[in-house]
Amino acid sequence: MAETSKQITILPAIDLMDNKCVRLRQGRADEQTIYNDDPVDQALQWQAQGAEYLHLVDLDGAFAGSPQHTRVIADIVAAIRIPVEVGGGLRTDDDVRRLLDVGVDRAILGTRAFADTAALRQLVEQHGRHVAVGIDARDGLVQVKGWVETTATEATMLARQVADLGVQTIIYTDTATDGMLKGPNVAAMGAMCAAVPQVAIIASGGVTTADDVRALAALKCVNLQGAIVGKALYDGLTTMTDLLAAAQEGAKR
């Protein structure tokens, strides 16, 4: 990898369930905490605190297999100035098109990217950089269907496959660290970046403190372009100000 890294973008997460902003512990629907009854208000708060990009997850969509919050997402996009990416239940071409039509910048495919590479290739040909792939993994193995199923496929292998199809952005979630507030799996993120140096990687899972952002920046991976932060922000364990400062500091090292 290159000697220096560009500044990592901090992406606050808004997870949608029952039209509310929630967080799940390790993706478990029965371990839910509601943080805001108004997701649009939450999006405006993150924008006001300096966020340059938002990460939205339709949790109901992920479990149901089809989008459940398209209207709420459209309201968020209309209310803010910064771009958003959205994942959760995007199993058809129409699902992707509807999100892009309401102004979503990146539609994230997870289960479908794993199960139907021909469809993924076609979507990338149609929509280019606006189609991203979410790779969720535990112990290096891909998980699908809202983390309910663990496959035998290595995350880095899937990353190479989707990169060959022209995917430009991968959101890589280490599910064992997600929501646990114990820091990211830095080694796994480094391995993912090294596996597909031509693809932008967004790190997800475990980012809790400014030091975690510094640790990711210390990998010196030019393609590690973002870090998603959720529970730590909602629980007040860190702030956007501190995370942004750490990202800026890391880019100067």
Q: Which residues are catalytic?
A: 15, 136
| Total Cβ atoms within 10 A of residue 69 | 23
Q: Give the chain's largest Cα–Cα span.
A: 45
Rg (the chain; Cα; Å): 16
Angstrom distance (rounded) from CA 168 to CA 163: 7
Residue holding tokens 């995370």? 243
Angstrom distance (rounded) from CA 51 to CA 9: 8
Angstrom distance (rounded) from CA 156 to CA 161: 9
Q: Are 16 and 69 in contact (CB under 8 A)?
A: yes
- The strand pairing partners of 56, in sequence order, are 14, 86
For the chain, percent helix, then strand, then coil, each to nearest 5?
40, 25, 35
- The strand pairing partners of 132, in sequence order, are 108
β-strands 224-229, 169-174 pairing: unpaired
